[in-house]
Structure 1
Amino acid sequence: MSLPQLKLDATEARIAALDLPTDGWAAPARADALARLRVMGLPGARDEYWKYTRPETLTAVEAPVAAVFAAEETPVFGTVDRLKIVFTDGVFDAEASDDLSLEGVEIARLADSADIHWAKDLYGALETAGQTPVMRPLATLNTAFASDGVLLRVTGKVSKPIALIYNHASEASDAILHHVVKVEQGGDVTLLESGPAAARFNNVLEVEVADGAGFHHVRAQGRDHQRRAATHIFARLGTESAFKTFTLTANGVLTRNEVVVELTGDDALCHVAGACMGDGEFHHDDTVFITHDAVNCESRQVFKKVLRNGAQGVFQGKILVKPGAQKTDGYQISQSLLLDGDSQFLAKPELEIYADDVACSHGSTSGAIDEDGLFYLRARGLPRGIAEDLLTIAFIAEAVMEIESQELQDEINARVEAWLERRRG
């Protein structure tokens, strides 16, 4: 079926404005992605999985304008011992980055890898698989046109987190980054992401976790009120592997975070969690699709959103249990705390099950702050603002506790408290 003319025109205009890298081992995957993009077209408001989120500013030819803020005195994860890899407006910043040598992991740049590379079999492969049954055209555009990214092959237990730091230096910047992570059998790594990145940011992270391996991911999106971002994580899990990701989002005009995970090995574990705090012109969309295709696997989706002054939150989460995926344990919860009557939370939880020996559940709630709890705290002398903040922190806590590292939990909690304090002031 041919695309509607308006969608076709918009897609071709966006393609024409970008440069397609044609050199190196990734060229065949890029060409394939470009061909697929022309068939599916960029997302539109009539697409089923975009009906709650308007994609126009993510697909427009020209990047929107976003003010550049001065660097924070205490950057996110600044107190954590980590290896820093810095990108400024989508370009690798060697001076701001650490030496890319760390025991247990091979680190390379996508832009520098012109020869045959281990990532050739992975680049674009998980993104392609993640297009079924739901098309994700912004990820396909990323695979075709990504200008840079990191390639991580984890061969052991990495001693400290690897931090991807995204800086924003130009008001009308457009960053397209694509990262590939391969965690070999028995390997274990923690990946951190932080920073506004650009006025418009399109980011893809492909992760393959082998048998008995572990991947931990903690991301902080925030501070830039005018940011527009579309991020995608595609993961494939082997036997007895573990995959955990958490994202904190504060501020930003439009953020859409997609996570697509396939559990292909028995006894695998997948936890996807997130929290967001939005004020005013803020739209935040979490879209998650987890496929169970093996025996005795566990998945959790835990999302909390705090919204006020007309902010909007969206959650679209699905668990698909394929035939033969017996003993599946799938849990999904999405909740919003609406701090006024103008904010809105839209939820679309889904279960699709083709096995008979499973324990799957999902739920979604939305409501105002607990008046009984508020009365209890105020009766003990706390001002209303501080009492509301404590209840908000308690509301978000279930999602934050999905982070395995206590140090990283503390870092995220500090960011939550700082955001609340700024709003209270």
Structure 2
Amino acid sequence: MTAVTSTGPAAFLGRHEGLRGRMPGASLPWVEALRDRSAEAFRVQGFPTRRVEAWKYTDLAPVSATVFGEPLTGVDDALALPPATRPRAVFIDGRFRADLSTLEGLAYTAENLAWALPELEPRLGALARPEEHSLAALNGMLFEDGLVITVPDGVAAGVLELVSFATESDRAPAFHPRHLVRLGAGASLTLVETAAGPTRARYLHNPVFEIEVAEGARMSHGRLQQEGREAFFLSTVYARVQAGGTYDNFTLNAGAKLARNEIHVALCGPKAECHMNGAQLLADGQHADTTTALDHAAPDCSSRQTYKTVLSGKSRGVFQGKILVRQVAQKTDGYQMNQALLLSPEAEIDSKPQLEIYADDVKCSHGATVGELDAEQIFFLRSRGIPLEQARAILVEAFLVEAVDAVADEHIREALSGAVTGWWQRQGIAGGIEAA
């Protein structure tokens, strides 16, 4: 264990030095070189401030000011997990738990990164960009574990659950799992990811995903973020999609005090597709930021992005979405939409859709809408005998369900639907929404 009493970048850099030679893969020169390169990038960048354009609307000062320590996960954590009905990988405080996971008899490989490191030199760090992204650099110097998924050519892998729990602690732990996913040509996988933790515990969960989708492969990635209300969730996803492949991502941000969902996708071959959709459900005191960067780097590719945000109390939502169409990417079809529903006069949404186009034969559009509950719709429902509070709840649910219904994969849609319904009921929306 490394004691940490300082804050900010110096604390994390000190932890990196204190753990030198004792982290997984320390005997592998290439792993140590990757950690050192990431540490240097983090030393140069530190935590991004609001002077950085990509972080203009999200302030990481609360993260920088918190004293974090190494997770002290015990082996007898009392976790009430439902019986596994499909393959499941469980991580507690960022560390793989074989005793809680069910990964036997698969037609593909799913193993924890700490064990698999000797075989990962070509893959680990192939997509992440620590010199450009500070949180990826932080992850790169302090990752201890993660999930490594390898699906061979032509294999339909079905559904795999990736579950991450934080435990109750009298300290604020920080963990930085690195997850690697590779789908071979014509393969398919549905990954249902859940992140959760104790309501009042403060901790930092800083995962990084590196996802490779080969020719004709398809990955559906459903993400349900329900971290504790005092937690920090800072996630970065890198995905590379080859010709004819599809990466379909839906992220539901419903937890954490401060959350950032950052996704970078490159469409690298003709006919590649990407769908990035999601919802942010924010209660009083929460801040959630979805930032996407979609690189159309090949011709005849298509992309769709739709994100919805519901804000109650004094909450703040952010959406930043950039579509880059390179000169070679003729016949690009790109669409991006951000919609927000304000349930309180104190709620705030910042929306910044962007298009950067260097090709001339393209079809691209973007837009953003911000509004309150429709007074005429409320009147219509009340004229049918529905009480005011219930009428408002019906409209909120309809706004959210529309986003979830767009999810093609039934397993992901089922998980998200229950979470969405539970969220607005827990916020007391069914019993009375604030008048905006």
Settle same-fold status: TM greater than 0.5: yes
Select which of 157, 164, 173 maps to 2:162. 164
CA distance in 2, matches of 1:328, 1:150: 33
Deviation at 1:57, TM superposition (A): 3.0
CA distance in 1, matches of 2:226, 2:252: 8
Partner amino acid, structure 1, of 2:137? T
> For residues 186 and 281 of structure 1, do their structure 2 counterparts lie closer, same or farther at Cα, with a shift above 3 Å needed?
same
Match of residue 67 from structure 1: none
Equivalent pair of 1:146/1:176 in contact (CA under 8 Å)? yes
Select which of 110, 133, 136 maps to 2:133. 136
> For residues 79 and 10 of structure 1, do their structure 2 counterparts lie closer, same or farther at Cα, with a shift above 3 Å needed?
closer
Match of residue 4 from structure 1: none
Match of residue 371 from structure 2: 367
CA distance in 2, matches of 1:318, 1:80: 38
Question: Deviation digits for residues 12-68 of structure 1, max 9, x if unmatched?
Answer: 33211233533335333223222322333331232111121111233446239xxxx
- Sequence identity, in percent? 35
Equivalent pair of 1:205/1:234 in contact (CA under 8 Å)? yes
Q: Does 1:48 pair with 2:46?
A: no
Secondary structure of the equivalent of 1:364? strand
Secondary structure of the equivalent of 2:136? helix
Alignment of 1:22-37 (within 5 A): 22-24=26-28, 26-37=31-42
Deviation at 1:141, TM superposition (A): 1.3
Partner amino acid, structure 1, of 2:329? A
Equivalent pair of 2:13/2:43 in contact (CA under 8 Å)? no
CA distance in 2, matches of 1:229, 1:310: 19
Match of residue 115 from structure 2: 112
Secondary structure of the equivalent of 1:120? coil
Select which of 320, 337, 342 maps to 1:338. 342
Partner amino acid, structure 1, of 2:279? A
Partner amino acid, structure 2, of 1:11? P
Match of residue 281 from structure 2: 277
Partner amino acid, structure 1, of 2:67? E
Deviation at 1:251, TM superposition (A): 3.0
Alignment of 1:9-408 (within 5 A): 10-18=8-16, 19-20=19-20, 21=23, 22-24=26-28, 26-60=31-65, 62-63=67-68, 81-103=85-107, 105-115=108-118, 117=119, 119-128=120-129, 135-155=132-152, 156-171=154-169, 172-196=172-196, 199-222=203-226, 224-408=228-412
> For residues 204 and 184 of structure 1, do their structure 2 counterparts lie closer, same or farther at Cα, with a shift above 3 Å needed?
same
Structure 1 window deviating more from structure 2 (192-201 vs 119-128): it is 192-201
Partner amino acid, structure 1, of 2:179? H
CA distance in 2, matches of 1:60, 1:377: 48
CA distance in 1, matches of 2:374, 2:83: 34
Structure 1 window deviating more from structure 2 (246-255 vs 31-40): it is 31-40
Question: Deviation digits for residues 374-418 of structure 1, max 9, x if unmatched?
Answer: 222222222222222221122123432332222431331121111
Partner amino acid, structure 2, of 1:186? G
> When the two structures are superposed, what TM-score results if normalisation uses the length of structure 1?
0.89
> For residues 114 and 195 of structure 1, do their structure 2 counterparts lie closer, same or farther at Cα, with a shift above 3 Å needed?
closer
Equivalent pair of 2:158/2:188 in contact (CA under 8 Å)? no
Equivalent pair of 1:81/1:160 in contact (CA under 8 Å)? no
Partner amino acid, structure 2, of 1:180? L
Structure 1 window deviating more from structure 2 (324-333 vs 106-115): it is 106-115
Deviation at 1:308, TM superposition (A): 0.9
> For residues 241 and 311 of structure 1, do their structure 2 counterparts lie closer, same or farther at Cα, with a shift above 3 Å needed?
same
Partner amino acid, structure 2, of 1:306? V
Partner amino acid, structure 2, of 1:295? P
CA distance in 2, matches of 1:63, 1:368: 39
Alignment of 1:410-421 (within 5 A): 410-421=414-425
Question: Deviation digits for residues 185-233 of structure 1, max 9, x if unmatched?
Answer: 1111011111325721000011010000011100111162112110011
> For residues 56 and 307 of structure 1, do their structure 2 counterparts lie closer, same or farther at Cα, with a shift above 3 Å needed?
same
The answer to which structure, 1 or 2, has the higher relative contact order (CA under 8 A, 6+ apart) is 1
CA RMSD of aligned residues (A): 2.4
Partner amino acid, structure 1, of 2:158? K
Deviation at 1:10, TM superposition (A): 4.3
Partner amino acid, structure 2, of 1:150? L
Secondary structure of the equivalent of 1:186? coil
Secondary structure of the equivalent of 2:207? strand
Match of residue 434 from structure 2: none
Structure 1 window deviating more from structure 2 (162-171 vs 37-46): it is 37-46
Equivalent pair of 2:212/2:239 in contact (CA under 8 Å)? yes
Q: Structure 1: which 4+ aligned runs deviate by more than 4 Å?
A: 70-73
Question: Deviation digits for residues 80-102 of structure 1, max 9, x if unmatched?
Answer: 84211111111212221113441
Equivalent pair of 1:219/1:246 in contact (CA under 8 Å)? yes
